[in-house]
Amino acid sequence: MTRIAPQDPQVLLEMIQSRLFPFPKRHFNAAQDLDPPDILALLDLADVFVELNRRTNKKLDLLKGRTQVNLFFENSTRTMSSFELAGKRLGADTVNMNPRTSSVAKGETLIDTAVTLNAMKPDLLVVRHSASGAAQLLGQKVGCSVVNAGDGQHQHPTQALLDMLSIRRAFGHVDSLTVAICGDVAHSRVARSNVILLNAMGANVRLVGPPTLIPGDADEWGVEVYHDMKAGITGANVVMMLRLQLERMDGAFIPSTREYFRYFGLDREKLAVAAPDVRVMHPGPMNRGVEIDSEVADDLSISLIQDQVEMGVAARMAVLASLAARLETDR
Amino acid sequence: MKQSQPIALVNARLIDPASDYDGLGSLILTEGVIAEVLHTAHLPSGSADMKVIDCDGKVVCPGLIDLRVKTGEPGAEPKETLKSASRAAAAGGVTSMVVQPDTDPVIDEPAMVDFILRRARDIELVHVYPAGAATKGHNGKQMAEIGLMSESGAVYFTDVENPIINSKVLARVLSYANGFNALIAHRPKEPWLSDGAVATSGEMAARMGLSGVSALAERIALERDLALVELTGARLLVDQITTAGSIKAIAQAKAKGLDVYASTSINHLVFNEIDIGDYRTFYRLDPPLRSEDDRTALVEALADGLIDVVVSNHTPLPAEDKRRPFSEAEPGAIGLQTLLAALIGLHHDRDIPLIDLLRTVTINPAQLIGLEAGRLAPGAPADLIVVDIDAPFALRESDILSKSKNSPFENRTLQGKVELTLVDGRIVYQA
């Protein structure tokens, strides 16, 4: 990977156009929609967007005239803002919609929503829904491109892409790195997407957590499974913490947050067994003192958590721009 | 506190199930541990300050490890305290006991585990280990702090008489405990079938007009528990099997290679439903006493090694809980003082080798909960007993050291008397 030095706007635009490629599919539903060359191409494109986002004038007109609808059935300020900024910086007209999940809980009503949307003729539809498979269902019913911004416990592929961008920028490569994904894997769409992308790019992936929070068949995902945190992060280059779904605490998955922190919370002591160059990640929002100690989360020499937020906008710009490029070729 | 003066037990019949040795021998104890095990009647030489005890051919074996003991402490001290239970244990040859967490408050957090261990240290008689609750307050809903309690010294986790009805919760408890290699003990009891029952259903209960529960209630619950073990790969101690049907299920689970162990109570090996014939509430137990066929099947399973552990299920209950009509009396019996003699009775009556019987109260429970005790080996704690296995005695109420006197063995003749009990090389009981 080559770092891009600040250059004049015209050069930057040329770099973007030279790296821009039509997305391989009409929708971006899941991490497995991408082959390694696509992943690399998206990361290279995102690198240029990072530079663009650090300039005063961040706007392009790549998506000029395009309509992007952010359809968030489930609340998520971070992800929605990230997609909204990404669209706006590319020149799209963005609209945010927050339909109440309860009124569209059934498949039929989700399809009704699709019919309504179709009538509005958007070009890009960014969907977040609490049900696994909801984005895919919408993709079958609408004429535009759908980006899955998180569906139930299934996938969150743009998060995995931004995580990989953060890792690649920190280490210069992804292959051969040992990445430990720790915590509530069972309920995590982030983990599922990351496992696929990281495996595809040649990283050694480990899943770490109590047996109640690791899916039973996870050992068949091409990862190593650990139930002991220290063993799981020993020698790891990246320790990716997951948010513990506190709202699920009454479901008897773990005894208490204090016990969870004692055995699976990331603090300096546990982190000492990781590789000397270790970087810590978290998709946010964090439960401080539950899955991660503030001392670790806020240490900028090891934490990539702020970088992840910044990379989120760039990675999503890369996805939206590539999907729009495909729309051009489809035309 | 460990004994500093060396002790030699000579001219003994050593029985050590851990090494499969049953024969003549002597032991040297120093600094609270077994220093030497000799397969000769006498020592080649001994130091001048050594105390030599001639055992006169009597049995010397590891002290008993009783995995299921209830005390009233904390919360119901008038029934039994850790101290009174410890005295009864020492007299019965029990050198380690695991107290159950269904106290008031329930032992469901590390501070409570610590409390029990601290009290036991102060009493300084036998070893006392707490079991922790599997779910908070035994509510069957929210998992207790299994990891933190393990670290504080809880040796296994159980909801005692409240089986976890919700299969999802039990699956998660088993699965979570597996991550800590923690042992879960779970009593198989189908709650709806068992509801309101005070005896095993059948001719006896019907004739006596007692509400009965089918022996099947145990097997139904057991089959579910075993299926969940298969699902989670966890370690499970099936807490008290009492029926022939359960034995078959355990045998199948073991044949499949599941990490499953079974215990039974001494009461169910010795008594049957006929014993409740006089409505004597000392025989009101939970699980209720079963048919003779079930009892015989249990004894055979014990002889075959299918039952791993025998427990006293020591449950002290004062007169006000027992001196009631049969169906209104609290279920349970004390047993720390009679566990060994009743087991030896099975040897005398059924010719089961003593070494096989002792295995279920020494090395097997020790291995299950990870104790160094329970064996006659150099370096092992000097927790030992000297027993005259032929000496007959009748247990009188006045002999009972527990605060509660609810013993079904009262006034029965037993054979096999503890003469000496040592814990960490200290003599804690002498007949």
User: B146 contacts in A (CB within 8 Å)?
Assistant: 255, 259
- Return the half-sphere exposure (C-beta side, CA atoms, 13 A cut-off) of residue A224: 15
**A211 and B179: CB-CB below 8 Å?**
yes
Q: Which candidate from B136, B145, B178 shows the least CB-CB separation from A211? A: B178
- Residue A253 touches chain B, beta carbons under 8 Å: yes
Please choose, from the candidates B320, B342, B333, the residue with its C-alpha nearest in 3D space to the C-alpha of residue B285: B333
Instruction: Name the amino acid, one letter, at B365.
Output: P
* pTM to 2 decimal places: 0.89
Q: Is B68 helix (H, G, I), strand (E, B) or coil?
A: strand
- Mutate one of A256, A258, A260, A262 to test the B interface: name it (highest B CB count within 10 A): A256
Rounded to the nearest angstrom, the minimum Cα separation between A262 and chain B is 8
Q: Which candidate from A211, A216, A259 shows the least CB-CB separation from B148? A: A259
Question: H/E element holding B357?
Answer: helix B354-359
**Helical segments of B106-260, H only:** 110-123, 146-152, 167-179, 191-194, 203-208, 216-232, 244-255
User: B148 contacts in A (CB within 8 Å)?
Assistant: 255, 258-259, 262
| DSSP code of residue A31 | G
**B179 and A262: CB-CB below 8 Å?**
no
CB–CB of A79/A128 below 8 Å?
yes
Q: Is A238 helix (H, G, I), strand (E, B) or coil?
A: strand
pLDDT of residue A103: 58
- Residue A258 touches chain B, beta carbons under 8 Å: yes
Of B199-213, B216-230, B361-375, which gets the smallest average pLDDT? B199-213
CB–CB of A30/A156 below 8 Å?
no
| DSSP code of residue A35 | -
- Residue A250 touches chain B, beta carbons under 8 Å: yes
**Helical segments of B239-290, H only:** 244-255, 266-270
Find the closest chain B residue to A225 by CA distance.
B179
- What is the ipTM, given to two decimal places? 0.80
User: What percent of chain A is helix, strand and coil (3-state, nearest 5)?
Assistant: 45, 15, 35
Phi, psi of B364 (to 5 degrees): -60, -55
**Distance between CA atoms of B427 and B91, rounded to whole angstroms?**
11
Q: Is A318 helix (H, G, I), strand (E, B) or coil?
A: helix
3-state secondary structure A90-128: CCCEEEEECCCHHHHCCHHHHHHHHHHHHHHCCCEEEEE
Please choose, from the candidates A300, A311, A291, the residue with its C-alpha nearest in 3D space to the C-alpha of residue A160: A311
Q: Which candidate from B136, B141, B176 shows the least CB-CB separation from A212? A: B176
CB–CB of B387/B59 below 8 Å?
yes
- Mutate one of B138, B142, B165 to test the A interface: name it (highest A CB count within 10 A): B142
Q: Which candidate from A210, A250, A258 shows the least CB-CB separation from B176? A: A210
Helices then strands, each counted (H, E), chain A: 12, 9
| DSSP code of residue B256 | T
Q: Which residues of B260-299 are buried (b: 16+ CB within 10 A; e: fewer)?
A: bbbbbbbbbbbbbbebbeeeebbbbbbbbbbbeebbebbb
**Distance between CA atoms of B69 and B335, rounded to whole angstroms?**
9
Q: Which residues of B148-185 are buried (b: 16+ CB within 10 A; e: fewer)?
A: bbbebebbbbbbbbbbbbeeebbbbbbbbbbbbebbbb
**Considering chain B, what percentage of its residues have pLDDT values greater than 90?**
94
**Distance between CA atoms of B152 and B113, rounded to whole angstroms?**
6
User: B145 contacts in A (CB within 8 Å)?
Assistant: 255-256, 258-259
Tens of each residue's pLDDT in chain A, 331 residues: 556 665 677 888 899 999 999 999 999 999 999 999 999 999 999 999 999 999 988 999 999 999 999 999 988 889 999 999 999 999 999 999 888 655 555 566 788 888 888 899 999 999 999 889 989 989 998 999 999 999 988 999 999 999 999 999 999 999 999 999 999 999 899 999 999 999 999 999 999 999 999 988 898 999 999 999 999 999 999 999 999 987 665 567 899 999 999 999 999 999 999 999 999 999 989 999 999 999 999 999 999 999 999 999 999 999 999 999 998 776 6
Q: Which candidate from A227, A253, A262 shows the least CB-CB separation from B172? A: A253
Confidence of residue B97 (pLDDT cuts 50, 70, 90): very high
**A255 and B148: CB-CB below 8 Å?**
yes
